[in-house]
């Protein structure tokens, strides 16, 4: 395979046809544009036998299309407004306090390290610590009636 660096690439007609074949089913705009470019890059590299960079492909596509306008025209399937996010204290406050307690090191008067104390009710059941239900023992034939009992009947499978 020929390796082409970051120098300007001379796109031949065959390379452009291969680019369009590689783009079939992959649209390098919208939310998943980078994933689609990965697929286009992989297909084009296999078809041409040349080591191209995705930057070279982006650059060539930007000469052919207005990628910014195409990206803006894509319909986003979810609201994409940026806003600050905080976990509600009423639901997750105990976890945030537990994290703060374990991340700080407490020392007593002599300077020795002591572990932070956490009340047993700080962690709700099912999120750690002891298991909620005891383990069930495995059933064995020894737990059943002994084979010498006349009541026991053999079963065939």
Residue-wise DSSP of 9-55: P---HHHHHHHHHHHTT----STTHHHHHHHHHHHHHHHH-EE--HH
Which pTM was predicted?
A: 0.46
Task: Check if the beta carbon of residue 122 is closer than 8 Å to that of residue 98.
Answer: yes
What is the C-alpha separation between 37 and 42, in angstroms, rounded?
Answer: 8
Distance from the Cα of residue 37 to its chain's centroid: 19
> Mapping DSSP to helix (H, G, I), strand (E, B) and coil, where does residue 114 land?
strand
Q: How confident is the model at residue 37, as a pLDDT?
A: 94
What is the C-alpha separation between 137 and 71, in angstroms, rounded?
Answer: 60
Q: How confident is residue 2, by pLDDT bands cut at 50, 70 and 90?
A: very low
Q: What is the pLDDT of residues 53-106, one digit of tens each?
A: 999 999 999 999 998 888 888 877 777 677 888 888 888 888 888 766 665 555
Instruction: Parse the chain into domains and list their residue ranges.
Output: 2-73, 89-118
Q: What is the pLDDT of residues 18-61, one digit of tens each?
A: 999 999 999 898 888 999 999 999 999 999 888 899 999 999 99
């Amino acid at each position: 395979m020929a390796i082409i660096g970051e120098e300007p690439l001379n796109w031949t007609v065959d390379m452009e046809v291969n680019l369009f074949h590689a783009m079939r089913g992959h649209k390098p705009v919208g939310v998943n544009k980078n994933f689609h470019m990965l697929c286009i890059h992989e297909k084009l590299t296999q078809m041409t036998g040349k080591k191209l960079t995705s930057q070279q492909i982006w650059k060539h596509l930007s000469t052919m299309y207005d990628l910014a306008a195409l990206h803006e025209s894509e319909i986003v399937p979810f609201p994409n407004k940026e806003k600050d996010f905080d976990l509600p204290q009423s639901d997750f406050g105990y976890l945030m306090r537990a994290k703060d307690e374990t991340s700080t090191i407490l020392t007593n008067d002599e300077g020795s390290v002591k572990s932070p104390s956490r009340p047993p009710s700080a962690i709700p059941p099912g999120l750690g610590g002891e298991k909620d239900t005891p383990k069930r023992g495995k059933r064995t034939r020894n737990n059943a009636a002994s084979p010498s009992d006349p009541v026991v009947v053999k079963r065939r499978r």
